Amino acid sequence: MVRMKLVLAIVQDKDADSLAKEFIQNDVRATKLATSGGFLRAGNTTFIVGIEDDRVNEVLEIIKKSSHTREQYVSNMNMDAAGTSMLGKPVQVTVGGATVFVLPVEEFKHF
């Protein structure tokens, strides 16, 4: 019998689409829950993944790649007194980050 694990991944909304795509490309069956935001970081999405024991590390790598914390430079559009818009000085912001739980599964059924 194949042992299964349940992987619960809470990622930022902006990482959810690329993570979903990675899951499909790697033949990982995932279900997306509508998550109405964590507290510290707004806009989280939760994925439930049922996966064979020996593919857990693969799934963790996929999640890590798509949603790890990283720095980005963002330039906002500003408007000066004359109404001319100009690109503001780039600001460094931290994006991404995922919280992942691997849970034991006693029974797994597909009807």
| Residues found near a second copy in the complex (CB under 8 A) | 4-6, 8, 10, 20, 23-24, 29-40, 44, 46, 48, 50, 56, 60, 63-64, 67-69, 96-111
Q: 16-19: long-range contacts at Cβ-Cβ below 8 A with a sequence spacing of 24 or more?
A: 16/45, 16/47, 18/66, 19/47, 19/62, 19/63, 19/66, 19/67
Cβ proximity to a second copy: between 23 and 75 the closer is 23
Cβ proximity to a second copy: between 69 and 75 the closer is 69
Cβ proximity to a second copy: between 38 and 90 the closer is 38
Task: Report the alpha-carbon distance of residue 39 to residue 84 in Å, rounded.
Answer: 37
Cβ proximity to a second copy: between 69 and 78 the closer is 69
User: How near is the Cβ of 91 to a second copy at its closest, in Å?
Assistant: 23
User: How near is the Cβ of 29 to a second copy at its closest, in Å?
Assistant: 7
User: How near is the Cβ of 76 to a second copy at its closest, in Å?
Assistant: 27
User: How near is the Cβ of 12 to a second copy at its closest, in Å?
Assistant: 11
Q: For the stretch 37-52, what's the b/e string if a residue is b when 16 or more beta carbons lie within 10 angstroms of its beta carbon? A: eeeebeebbbbebebe
Phi-psi region of 98 (alpha: psi -120 to 50; beta: other; left: phi over 0): beta
